[in-house]
Chains A and B, each alone.
Chain A
Amino acid sequence: NAGVTQTPKFQVLKTGQSMTLQCAQDMNHNSMYWYRQDPGMGLRLIYYSASEGTTDKGEVPNGYNVSRLNKREFSLRLESAAPSQTSVYFCASRGVLSPLHFGNGTRLTVT
């Protein structure tokens, strides 16, 4: 039972580089989310997708783009990474009447 799978687990980037964080879920959930977790600040919502084909901004969307490729996959792209984007990134998904299911996170360092 895989649940929510995120890749990669760790990544180091230089300022200005780009990368895409991948997320896939196998629970047939409609909604998917990207959060970032920073010390002392809890989790903050970056973008979410309430259903396939739709995406919406969350609390901290600047510097990020997302793609809901299909029902299973929801990717997060950093076009030009900045040190302020050093964080742990979590993908989550949710069914109609179910709580969030989280992946194990991607630890990103931007130097």
Chain B
Amino acid sequence: GDSVTQMEGPVTLSEEAFLTINCTYTATGYPSLFWYVQYPGEGLQLLLKATKADDKGSNKGFEATYRKETTSFHLEKGSVQVSDSAVYFCALSDSSEYGNKLVFGAGTILRVKS
């Protein structure tokens, strides 16, 4: 079945450092890909998405590019802030833009120190 693999955390960075969180997927067909963020004590929120190969999703300084050839959707940010500390989840859905069922990765904890 479909699956998502994320790099294990926690990832600890100093403020203004460059961030990469790796995400690879296995899926039949052409899934849509997502990054969700979970701040402490809250539910998940959509951070960005990409629906087809070579699409780049971006939001709040975060970016991720849908790479079909490497089945990857790595999350990047050029300069992290303390407020970015959260858990980040990579996810995929079936071929429709949002799909009826999302498959999530295990999540990566990001801690940013001032």
Contact = CB atoms under 8 A, between A and B. Distances in A.
Interface of A: 4, 31, 40-45, 48, 50, 58, 90, 92, 94, 97-100, 102-105
Contacts of B102: 43, 45, 100
Interface of B: 4, 34, 36, 41-46, 49, 89, 97-98, 100-102, 104-107
A104 B43 CA distance: 4
Contact of A97 (B36, B46, B97): B97
If over half of B's interface residues share one DSSP class (helix, strand or loop), that class is named, otherwise mixed; here it is loop
Nearest to B6: A42
A29 B32 CA distance: 20
A45 B106 CA distance: 13
B59 to A, nearest CB: 12
Contacts of B4: 42
Nearest to A45: B101
Contacts of B45: 102
Contacts of A105: 42-43
Nearest to A41: B106
26 contacts: A4-B43, A40-B106, A42-B4, A42-B89, A42-B104, A42-B105, A42-B106, A42-B107, A43-B44, A43-B89, A43-B104, A48-B101, A50-B100, A97-B97, A97-B98, A98-B98, A99-B34, A99-B46, A99-B49, A99-B98, A100-B46, A100-B98, A103-B43, A104-B41, A104-B42, A105-B42
